[in-house]
Chain A
Amino acid sequence: MVDWFTEPLEFEFMQRAMLAVVLVGIVSAVVGAFVVVRGMAFVGDALAHASFAGVAAAFALGVSIYLGALVAAVATALGIAFISQRGRLRFDTAIGVLFVGAFALGIVIVSRQDNYTVDLFSFVFGNVLGVSWEDLWLMAGIGGFVVAVIALFYKELLFTSYDATVAEAAGIPTRAIEYGLMALIALSTVVALQAVGIVLVIAMLVTPAATASLLVRRLHQIIFVGAGVAVASAVIGLYVSYHAEVASGAAIVLVATSLFAIALVLAPRRGILARRRLELALRRRIDASVPVAEQP
């Protein structure tokens, strides 16, 4: 039994992978709490897809793929924030226009390459086992920056997320906070990119925070519980992927989804069973009460 846990960690690539998924889990869940309470899930998905353009461009130019992803994701994030603040477009329309454009640009660049390889597609489907120490340091740097900024500006992020108009009237620099949050979401998708892949980044952002929001009902609690759920999903998922020989990103996401399903059923107050129990208790009370005679 102990071997089940220790054996994989005898390999250095598994140690790196374990550190990477734990890091991705924490960073994604912290940012994801804001994504979930503000209903911005579409943004996270869009930024992950948009970063594909940067990955493809970096690949074609022979520069760091992380740099490419970072530039593309942050530029798209700021573009979305700009259009939705200035223009007459709805937020989701602005996102729809920009991210499909960026993704298409990525496909165009890739289609010009004769030698696109596994390397490029590891970003689409994730390849945490291929993470190098250099990648890991880069992820830790970006992720640490994201978490530190959120900790430093937590009260401004909270106020702006809850009620931007009143926050602005109180002198909070809400526009800077909105742009900043978009950039942080972009950075966190870049951190998660290699570990779980473009398609699954959104799951790391949304699922653990969604699970937490079923269990606790204050924003900072959602952040901490969400991070815990994410780390658990990442570690269990990575072990499962090793022993069952399945794709690691998908295994991690499936564990996170399972934990969400369990919370959905069993959560103490907001779970399906708890609500059902309340309904049953009410029904019993109604059935037990003596019918009042009809007034003549």
Chain B
Amino acid sequence: MEGRATALAVRDVWAGYDATPALEAVSFALPAGSLAGLAGPNGSGKSTLLKTVLGLIRPWRGAVEVFGEALNGQRARLGYAPQAEVVDWEFPATVRDVVMMGRYGRVGLLRRPSRADRDAVERALAQVNLEALAGRQIGELSGGQQRRMLIARALAQEADLLLLDEPMVGLDPTTEHEMLSLFERLRDDGKTLLVATHDLSCIAACFDFTLLINRRLVAFGPTAEVLNTENLSVAFAEHLLLLPTEGGVYVGHHGHG
């Protein structure tokens, strides 16, 4: 990781809602071109962290830098795909309409999308293999296609740092595998990805970096160094079942997890 630029720097961030802290003194620096997993139990501050990075929540203390600068000038370089569960799939729009929304921030007020914007949309659709479904109603997509469309919108924005919130929830193993290959392809194209997920086995298998949080930063670094019994039991406490086995540690979800 030496010599690589920092895509996302979070410095001593304290944030939360009303008077309830969701993040306390969180600091880390994510190198550009990495594929990083963000894990923690429910209520650990994963969503708050993503929202703070996106500038939707103003931190009480601390700062966020995207590619070495404050967020304001860098909004277009920061893309976001929300959880598919919070998206209105009944909304009257086609896949292409939604991906085009990714351009709106760049186009600016009182201007219409140009030829270049339409080209960027088609490129983004091609990157996630959705060209054939571009004219489809968004309500007709399968779970995996829905996530790919949301990622395509962030790509159409020509974002270099992608924040993905739970893109793997509810996917079957084949689709999950396709999604992971997409992440790897995007990383190899030079994108930086920070993916919030519950799925520790998938982080262990594919992600370069792991960020474990439980209100405070539990551990951050190369996945192999971060995912150990000690860190996981600090991060998940009673939420995870850790069973030592011959080859390593079996990680099971405990109770409501």
Chain A positions within 8 Å of B, measured between CB atoms, are: 37, 152-153, 155-156, 158-159, 161-163, 165-172, 213, 216-219, 221-222
Is there a chain A Cβ closer than 8 Å to B109's Cβ? yes
- Whether A169 and B88, one on each chain, are in contact in the complex, defined by CB atoms closer than 8 angstroms, is no
- Whether B56 and A168, one on each chain, are in contact in the complex, defined by CB atoms closer than 8 angstroms, is yes
- Whether A172 and B104, one on each chain, are in contact in the complex, defined by CB atoms closer than 8 angstroms, is yes
- Whether B92 and A217, one on each chain, are in contact in the complex, defined by CB atoms closer than 8 angstroms, is yes
- Whether A217 and B101, one on each chain, are in contact in the complex, defined by CB atoms closer than 8 angstroms, is no
- Whether A37 and B75, one on each chain, are in contact in the complex, defined by CB atoms closer than 8 angstroms, is no
Tally of A-B residue pairs with Cβ under 8 A?
71
- Whether B92 and A171, one on each chain, are in contact in the complex, defined by CB atoms closer than 8 angstroms, is no
Some 30 contacts from A to B, beta carbons below 8 A apart, are: A155-B107, A155-B112, A155-B113, A156-B104, A156-B109, A158-B97, A159-B101, A159-B104, A162-B101, A163-B87, A163-B88, A165-B82, A166-B80, A166-B153, A167-B101, A169-B56, A170-B76, A170-B157, A171-B75, A171-B105, A172-B104, A172-B105, A216-B92, A217-B94, A217-B137, A218-B92, A219-B91, A219-B92, A219-B93, A221-B92
- Whether A218 and B109, one on each chain, are in contact in the complex, defined by CB atoms closer than 8 angstroms, is no
State in angstroms the CA–CA spacing of A155 and B93 once bound together: 12
The 3 closest A-B pairs by CB, nearest first: A170-B105, A169-B54, A171-B75
Chain B positions within 8 Å of A, measured between CB atoms, are: 54-56, 75-76, 78, 80, 82, 86-88, 91-94, 97-98, 101-102, 104-105, 107, 109-110, 112-113, 137, 153, 157
**CB-based nearest B residue for A221:** B92
**Distance between B111 CB and nearest chain A CB, rounded to angstroms:** 9
Contacts of A158 in B (CB 8 A): 93, 97, 101
- Whether A218 and B97, one on each chain, are in contact in the complex, defined by CB atoms closer than 8 angstroms, is yes
- Whether A170 and B102, one on each chain, are in contact in the complex, defined by CB atoms closer than 8 angstroms, is yes
State in angstroms the CA–CA spacing of A216 and B137 once bound together: 11
Most buried by A among B55, B92, B105: B92
Query: A169 and B101 in contact (CB under 8 A), knowing A155-B107, A162-B88?
Result: no
State in angstroms the CA–CA spacing of A164 and B15 once bound together: 21
Q: Given A153-B110, A169-B75, 11 more contacts at CB 8 Å?
A: A155-B101, A155-B112, A158-B97, A166-B153, A167-B104, A170-B75, A170-B80, A213-B92, A217-B92, A217-B137, A218-B93
Most buried by A among B98, B105, B113: B105
**Distance between B16 CB and nearest chain A CB, rounded to angstroms:** 16
State in angstroms the CA–CA spacing of A163 and B54 once bound together: 15
- Whether A37 and B105, one on each chain, are in contact in the complex, defined by CB atoms closer than 8 angstroms, is no
**Distance between A133 CB and nearest chain B CB, rounded to angstroms:** 33
- Whether B109 and A222, one on each chain, are in contact in the complex, defined by CB atoms closer than 8 angstroms, is no
**Distance between A172 CB and nearest chain B CB, rounded to angstroms:** 6
Contacts of B54 in A (CB 8 A): 169
**Distance between B96 CB and nearest chain A CB, rounded to angstroms:** 10
**Distance between A73 CB and nearest chain B CB, rounded to angstroms:** 26
- Whether B109 and A169, one on each chain, are in contact in the complex, defined by CB atoms closer than 8 angstroms, is no
Which of B55, B91, B105 is within 8 Å of A162, CB to CB? B91
**CB-based nearest A residue for B140:** A217
State in angstroms the CA–CA spacing of A213 and B80 once bound together: 29
State in angstroms the CA–CA spacing of A241 and B56 once bound together: 53
**CB-based nearest B residue for A174:** B56
**Distance between B196 CB and nearest chain A CB, rounded to angstroms:** 14
Contacts of A170 in B (CB 8 A): 75-76, 80, 101-102, 104-105, 157
- Whether A163 and B137, one on each chain, are in contact in the complex, defined by CB atoms closer than 8 angstroms, is no
**CB-based nearest A residue for B91:** A162
- Whether B110 and A152, one on each chain, are in contact in the complex, defined by CB atoms closer than 8 angstroms, is yes
Contacts of A222 in B (CB 8 A): 92
Query: A218 and B94 in contact (CB under 8 A), knowing A153-B109, A169-B54?
Result: yes
**Distance between A39 CB and nearest chain B CB, rounded to angstroms:** 9
State in angstroms the CA–CA spacing of A165 and B55 once bound together: 11
Contacts of B153 in A (CB 8 A): 166
Contacts of A163 in B (CB 8 A): 82, 87-88, 101
State in angstroms the CA–CA spacing of A169 and B164 once bound together: 13
State in angstroms the CA–CA spacing of A152 and B108 once bound together: 12
State in angstroms the CA–CA spacing of A213 and B93 once bound together: 11
Contacts of A162 in B (CB 8 A): 88, 91, 93, 98, 101
**Distance between B110 CB and nearest chain A CB, rounded to angstroms:** 6
- Whether A37 and B91, one on each chain, are in contact in the complex, defined by CB atoms closer than 8 angstroms, is yes
State in angstroms the CA–CA spacing of A217 and B109 once bound together: 25
**Distance between B86 CB and nearest chain A CB, rounded to angstroms:** 8
State in angstroms the CA–CA spacing of A202 and B93 once bound together: 24
**CB-based nearest B residue for A153:** B109
Contacts of A167 in B (CB 8 A): 101, 104
Most buried by B among A162, A166, A167, A217: A166
- Whether B92 and A169, one on each chain, are in contact in the complex, defined by CB atoms closer than 8 angstroms, is no
Contacts of B113 in A (CB 8 A): 155
State in angstroms the CA–CA spacing of A155 and B82 once bound together: 20
